[in-house]
Amino acid sequence: MSDIRIIIGGPSNSGKSVFSKYFNLALQDINQNSYYEDYDPFSPTKKLLDGLITPKQRQKQKKKNVSAREASIITKNFIDLSKKYPIVIGDLPGKIPGITKILSHGGTHGIIICREDEAEQIKHWKKLFDEVGLVTVCIIKSNLGGSEIVDSSDLMNVKLTNLERKRNSKDITPNIRVLAEILLPYLQ
């Protein structure tokens, strides 16, 4: 298994960054050499999740504009990470402008995360992934509570809870670990 670059896409505040962090940890937990890159040039969410900055500092560091040239450089750097790590994970910005499409070209596979109350957005992200040639391997519907479900079929359909940024736990949820194990064959 080599050169797998998983793009996590979906609307803002759907849990992409939190999922990316714990999905990466789950892959490492099952002996996969993976790396999670904050692939959203507009907002440094990974630094926030890692406790390196405060929410106020994150707000100040947010960018309003990213040029196509900057996005192309970020994409090249993301692709270059796969020379060091067989599996690279990156979460996209929460909107689908041209910059997000440029960034999407850096991936080989896609996972879509959407809050249950915004499920109609899934089709837009699936269309983007199809346009850039990403293989969509999983669709996740997130919410703050309720039960979690992992349904393994041709296309993984998953329901996960507690993907909000305020989460203090360093523990990987059991279903994210199960998802990592199930998805490995789909990524080859």
Q: Domains of the chain by range and CATH?
A: 4-187 (3.40.50.300)
Q: Pairing between strand 135-143 and 4-9?
A: unpaired
What is the phi/psi pair of residue 98, to 5°?
-60, -35
Both tokens assigned to 15: 């849990």
What pLDDT, on a 0 to 100 scale, did the predictor assign at position 44?
79
What pLDDT, on a 0 to 100 scale, did the predictor assign at position 169?
53
Separation CA 27–CA 96 (nearest Å): 27
**Is 161 within 8 Å of 143 (Cβ atoms)?**
yes
What pLDDT, on a 0 to 100 scale, did the predictor assign at position 99?
92
Which segments of the chain does DSSP mark as H helices, in order? 16-29, 45-49, 55-61, 68-81, 98-104, 122-132, 174-183
Q: Per residue in 127-158, pLDDT tens?
A: 999 999 998 988 888 875 545 444 555 555 66
* CB neighbour class for 184 (10 Å; exposed up to 12, middle 13-18, buried from 19): middle
> Does the global pTM surpass 0.85?
no
Separation CA 188–CA 135 (nearest Å): 11
Instruction: Report whether pLDDT(62) > 70.
Output: yes
